[in-house]
Structure 1
Amino acid sequence: MPFFSVIIPLFNKEKYIENALKSILNQTFLDYEIIIVNDCSTDESITKIEGHLSEKIQLIHHQKNKGLSATRNTGIVNAKANYVTYLDADDLWKPTFLESIYRMICNFPEAKIFGTNYEEVYGEKIIKPVNGSENLAPDFEGIIDFFSINLKQGIYNHGSVCFHKSVFEKVGYYDENIDFSEDIDFNIRANAVFKLAYSTSVQMSYFKQTDNQLTFSSILNKKLPDYDAYENLSFSNQKIKKYLDFERYVLAKNLKKHGNNFLYKKIKASIDAKNLSWKQKILLNLPRFALKIISKFKQFLFSKNINYTSYN
């Protein structure tokens, strides 16, 4: 039995899938299997990987397009290892990613979730996200409270995290009724029950401007997570309440910017304002045209290597 099962969700990534696969094959830790789940790609993605298939690398085909959550779930169901991790077909691992995860598994046996820091790639530009890792020591490796520190960008993303199979057995799989922020929905359930071991070491490259990336698609026609469903978790843990309000803030602001004023008002009404910073309170209440102007101005600043965010 392999130590890790690595799941690659695949849908129309012919330009990138080979490099993603090679970044796994170049790992310093070699005890793993790779499960590629093809969610009905219509390009040449499968042609690109056929020459790499082996006993160690299996390819599973969906008979119809089911989306990211279902694709991950298919990989989990077919995983042979006790530790499951993912790499999207347009992202890359550093050679020591699995080695870093393995070290934390050995050093922090009380944890069942293991994450590392990552970098964001915009064309030729590489930046470190503003995600709370900057508040930890540069060489930190240890147990952290997900809900306390994860109030900015994600402290990890789903290309830089590993879950023990017992997490899925306890909290369930990815919600296939959600097709926006499904990672956040799963993170809430998992981190409410299990401990997270984390390393500030950058072990993954997250490419933000590739073809077919869901991050840049409109949220107006998406099935969104219901953060109210987790409000009961906050009764005994105010850190979870603050985290839920932060995610509501992010979602409400984006809904207003995209023109869904009804849902914006509904989500805003659930937010306790004391859980937001002064900048976030202002942005949440700005009119739509102002949010769109600010968004364009942030893009301009970013082109000048200035990464301004309300998360600071």
Structure 2
Amino acid sequence: MPFFTVIIPLYNKENYVENALKSILNQSFTDYEIIIVNDCSTDKSISKIESFLSERISLIHHENNKGLSATRNTGIQNAKADYITYLDADDLWKPTFLETIHRLIINFPEAKIFGTNYEEIYGDKILKPFNNSDTLAHDFEGIIDFFKINIKQGIYNHGSVCFHKSVFEKVGYYDVQIRFSQDIDFNIRANYFFKLAYSNTNQMSYFMQTDNQITRSSILHYQIPDYDKYEHWAKSNIDLKKQLDFLRYVLVKKLKKDGDKVLWKKIIKPIQLKNLNWKQVILLYLPKKSLLFLDKIKMELMNKGIKTATYSNR
């Protein structure tokens, strides 16, 4: 039985999937299997990976396009290993990713979730995420409180995390009804019940401007998470409540920019403004035109290698 199962969800990534596979095959820790789940790609993605298929690199086809949640679930249900991790077909691992996760598993047996820091790639520019990793030593490895530290960008993303199978047995799989931020919904459930061991070393490259990224398009026709269903947990966890309100703030801005005049007014109601900083409160109530104008400026700065965010109070 392999130590890790690596799941690659694949949908129309012909220009990227070979490099993703090679970054796995280049790992310093080699006890793993790879399951590629093809969600009805219509490009040349399959022809790009056929030569890689072997006893430990398998390919599963969906008969119908089911979305990312169902694609991950298919991989999990077919996994042979107890430790399950993912790499999207347009992202890359550093050669020591699995080695780092394995070390966390050995050194922190009380944890069932294992994550690392990552870098963001914008064209030819490499930028650091605006997460709370700067509050930790650059070589930190240990148990962290997910809800306390994950109040900005993700402390890990779904290409830099590993879950023990028992997590899925306890909290269930990815919600197939959700087609936007399904990772966030799962993270809430998983981290509520299980401890996270974290390495602050950068072990993954997250490409921010590749094809088919929902985060850069309208979400009006996508089912989004219902954070209200976690409010009963938040009554005994102040940090979870802060995170839920921050996630609602992010959704409200996006829905405003997409032109939804009903849903954002519903989502904004449970937000306690004390859980946002002053910049976020201002943006929360700005009209659509102002938000779109600020996005334009933000993108112009990004193209110059300058990243801006509202996470700081300064």
Say yes or no: TM over 0.5.
Answer: yes
The aligned counterpart of 1:138 is: 138
Paired residues for 1:96-111 under 5 Å = 96-111=96-111
Paired residues for 1:57-96 under 5 Å = 57-96=57-96
Alpha-carbon distance in structure 2 between the residues aligned to 1:111 and 1:285: 40
Once the two structures are superposed, residues 62-108 of structure 1 have per-residue CA deviations (whole angstroms, 9 ceiling, x without a partner) of: 00100000000000000000000000000000000000000000000
The aligned counterpart of 2:42 is: 42
CA contact (8 A) 2:141 2:198 kept: yes
Q: Is 1:250 matched with 2:221?
A: no
Alpha-carbon distance in structure 2 between the residues aligned to 1:257 and 1:151: 22
Q: Is 1:262 matched with 2:256?
A: no
AA in 1 matched with 2:163: F
The aligned counterpart of 2:119 is: 119
Alpha-carbon distance in structure 2 between the residues aligned to 1:170 and 1:231: 19
* Deviation beyond 3 Å, 4+ runs, structure 1: none
Once the two structures are superposed, residues 172-213 of structure 1 have per-residue CA deviations (whole angstroms, 9 ceiling, x without a partner) of: 000000000000000000000000011110000001111122
> What SS class does the counterpart of residue 71 from structure 1 fall into?
helix
Alpha-carbon distance in structure 2 between the residues aligned to 1:41 and 1:259: 30
- Structure 1 gap ranges (5+): none
The aligned counterpart of 1:272 is: 272
CA contact (8 A) 2:127 2:305 kept: no
Alpha-carbon distance in structure 2 between the residues aligned to 1:112 and 1:17: 28
The aligned counterpart of 2:166 is: 166
AA in 2 matched with 1:29: F
Once the two structures are superposed, residues 16-68 of structure 1 have per-residue CA deviations (whole angstroms, 9 ceiling, x without a partner) of: 11100000000000000000000011111111111110001000000010000
* Greater CA drift, 247-256 or 213-222: 213-222
Q: Is 1:290 matched with 2:304?
A: no
The aligned counterpart of 2:191 is: 191
Alpha-carbon distance in structure 2 between the residues aligned to 1:46 and 1:302: 33
> What SS class does the counterpart of residue 248 from structure 2 fall into?
helix
The aligned counterpart of 2:304 is: 304
Once the two structures are superposed, residues 119-161 of structure 1 have per-residue CA deviations (whole angstroms, 9 ceiling, x without a partner) of: 0101100101001111111111111111111111111000000
Alpha-carbon distance in structure 2 between the residues aligned to 1:191 and 1:72: 18
Residue 308 of structure 1, CA deviation: 1.1
Residue 300 of structure 1, CA deviation: 1.5
The aligned counterpart of 2:14 is: 14
> What SS class does the counterpart of residue 95 from structure 1 fall into?
coil
Alpha-carbon distance in structure 1 between the residues aligned to 2:108 and 2:275: 31
Residue 231 of structure 1, CA deviation: 0.5
> What SS class does the counterpart of residue 193 from structure 2 fall into?
coil
Alpha-carbon distance in structure 1 between the residues aligned to 2:238 and 2:119: 30
Alpha-carbon distance in structure 2 between the residues aligned to 1:208 and 1:306: 15
Residue 214 of structure 1, CA deviation: 2.1
CA contact (8 A) 2:33 2:56 kept: yes
The aligned counterpart of 1:154 is: 154
> What SS class does the counterpart of residue 261 from structure 1 fall into?
coil
TM-score, scaled relative to structure 1: 0.99
> What SS class does the counterpart of residue 262 from structure 2 fall into?
helix
AA in 2 matched with 1:191: N
Alpha-carbon distance in structure 1 between the residues aligned to 2:303 and 2:27: 33
Alpha-carbon distance in structure 1 between the residues aligned to 2:207 and 2:61: 25
AA in 1 matched with 2:129: P
AA in 2 matched with 1:284: L
Once the two structures are superposed, residues 216-257 of structure 1 have per-residue CA deviations (whole angstroms, 9 ceiling, x without a partner) of: 121111100000011111111111111100100111111111
Paired residues for 1:171-250 under 5 Å = 171-250=171-250
- Paired residues in the alignment total 312
Alpha-carbon distance in structure 2 between the residues aligned to 1:109 and 1:12: 38
The aligned counterpart of 2:52 is: 52
> What SS class does the counterpart of residue 241 from structure 1 fall into?
helix
* Greater CA drift, 259-268 or 62-71: 259-268
